[in-house]
Structure 1
Amino acid sequence: MRLSDEQIRQFHEEGWLFLPETFTPEEIAVLREEAEAIYREQRPEIWREKSGAPRTAFAAHTYNESFRLLGAHPRLVEPIEQIFGERLYMHQFKINAKAAFTGDVWQWHQDYGTWLRDDGMPEPRAMNIAVFLDEVMPINGPLMLIPRSQAHGNLEAGHDVSTTSYPLWTINEEVVTKLVQEGGIVAPTGQPGGVLMFHGNLVHGSAPNITPYPRKIVYLTLNAVSNHIRKPTRPDWIAHTDFTPIQPVADDALTQYARQRSRQPQAAE
């Protein structure tokens, strides 16, 4: 899948791009089912809210076949190779949950701020790609973006280790207010299967989910191989140190996996 010249222009100007209906209902159904099964596991890669609800599951592509296929899917890999002009490796992979009623806030932040400070990534030549597993609505804690904020580069940030269960390098309210006055706020919403890509320096966050509607999103961070991290401080399942270029799978690989899985006999209850 290749981006048009207009899509590339929008990404460079605004810092983000939304691609609706990138994955089919059949592909999303198997990913959603397996995400829910992963959240029920007890693994060090699964972080939970203070309430105990799942918050994020790291590195699922290393222990789950459907997410391995997603992590090497050409509909995600090829557009980023097009923008960066080189091969990519997986810097980070996570399935973020906003559980119904209990999904907590993600404070305003830039992802590159963490990649630089905690992982030693030289430049913001990594891209976040968000794949919607549930419908993302204005009411269930959608990701909020500040358009064009990536143009300000890497901003000063403080390390917040107390607001939520997840430590984050956050941007202070005065800076966020100024950025919003310049660029406003957008909150891309859409059906399962939509894909949102955004620049590593784009300031973003999300509010808590107090609705009955869960919101699961898979995040891939694809990094240019030449931009591999130099001084990782986090576990390998959070910031990967395998810099092998991703070899894309066939475009129908996830569909074929879903159909094969549906033909398998189910375990007796």
Structure 2
Amino acid sequence: MKLNAEQLARFDELGYVFLPECFSEAEIKALRDASSAVLATQRPDIWRERDGTPRTAFACHQYNEGCKLLASDERLVEPVFQLFGEDVYIHQFKINAKAAFTGEVWQWHQDFPTWHKDDGMPEARAMNIAVFLDEVMPINGPLMVVPRSHKSGALESSHDTQTTSYPLWTLDNKTVTDMVERNGIVTPTGKAGGVLMFHANIVHGSAGNITPYPRRIVYLTLSAVSNAIVKPTRPDFIAHQDFTPVRSTSADVLRKYAEHAAKSAPQSALAA
């Protein structure tokens, strides 16, 4: 899959592009089941909210078949290859699980400053691709992005280790206020199966989730191979040090996996 001219222009101007209903209901059902299996395990690469609820499951594509297939799916890989014009590798793969009632805030930030300061990524030639596993609504802690903020480059940030259980290089209130006054805030929302691709320097964050509706999102971060990290300080499960180019797989592979998973599901689960 490639982005069309309108989508490319939108990405260049706004710093993000949203692709609704990119994955089928059957595929999302299989991926949601995969994420539930991952989040139910006890592993050091699954980070938790302060109350113990799973917050982020890192690198689950390395041991979960559904996540592995998603990480190389052509619908995610090909547009990034198209934008960068070179091979890409997986810098990070994670499931962010903003749980019902207890999902905490993600502070205002850009991704590239964290990748640069913590991992030694040379340039902002990497991108986050978000796959909605649940419906993302205006009320359940959707991602908020500041359009056009990527055009300001990497902004000054500070290391926040107190606000939540996830340390992050975050932006101060004045910087965010100035950006929002110039560009506003948008909240890409939609059904499970939607895909949001956004620039490494776009300003974004999300509020907590106090609704009964969970908001799980898979984030695949792809970086240009020429942009491989040089001074990693974080564990390999957070910032991968295998720079092997991703070879995209046909969308049919994940579809067949979803069909097999549906046929293999226990009858009790199908009845439910």
- Where does residue 80 of structure 1 map in the other structure? 80
- Spell out, residue by residue over 1:77-120, the C-alpha distance to the aligned partner (whole angstroms, 9 max, x if none): 00111111011100000000110000000000000010000000
Q: Which amino acid aligns with 2:153?
A: G
Cα 1:209/1:265, change in 2 over 3 Å: closer
- Where does residue 47 of structure 1 map in the other structure? 47
Q: Does 1:243 align with 2:243?
A: yes
- Where does residue 89 of structure 2 map in the other structure? 89
- Where does residue 159 of structure 1 map in the other structure? 159
Following the alignment from structure 1 to structure 2, what is the Cα–Cα distance between the partners of residues 71 and 80? 12
Following the alignment from structure 2 to structure 1, what is the Cα–Cα distance between the partners of residues 143 and 95? 14
Following the alignment from structure 1 to structure 2, what is the Cα–Cα distance between the partners of residues 53 and 42? 11
- Spell out, residue by residue over 1:18-69, the C-alpha distance to the aligned partner (whole angstroms, 9 max, x if none): 0001000000001001101111100011000001111110001101000000
Q: Which runs of 4+ in 1 moved over 6 A?
A: none
- Where does residue 126 of structure 1 map in the other structure? 126
Cα 1:265/1:173, change in 2 over 3 Å: closer
Following the alignment from structure 1 to structure 2, what is the Cα–Cα distance between the partners of residues 10 and 265? 40
Report the alpha carbon displacement of residue 261 of structure 1 after superposing the two structures with TM: 2.5
Cα 1:36/1:265, change in 2 over 3 Å: closer
Contiguous gaps of at least 5 residues in structure 1: none
Following the alignment from structure 1 to structure 2, what is the Cα–Cα distance between the partners of residues 261 and 216? 20
What SS does the corresponding residue of 1:252 show, helix, strand or coil?
A: helix
How many percent identity over aligned positions?
62
Contiguous gaps of at least 5 residues in structure 2: none
- Where does residue 145 of structure 1 map in the other structure? 145
TM-score by length of 2: 0.97
Cα 1:114/1:268, change in 2 over 3 Å: same
Following the alignment from structure 2 to structure 1, what is the Cα–Cα distance between the partners of residues 83 and 268? 48
Report the alpha carbon displacement of residue 267 of structure 1 after superposing the two structures with TM: 11
What SS does the corresponding residue of 1:107 show, helix, strand or coil?
A: strand
Following the alignment from structure 1 to structure 2, what is the Cα–Cα distance between the partners of residues 117 and 211? 34
- Spell out, residue by residue over 1:122-180, the C-alpha distance to the aligned partner (whole angstroms, 9 max, x if none): 00000100000000000000000000111111111110001100000000000000000
What SS does the corresponding residue of 2:41 show, helix, strand or coil?
A: coil
For 1:21-40, list aligned pairs within 5 A.
21-40=21-40
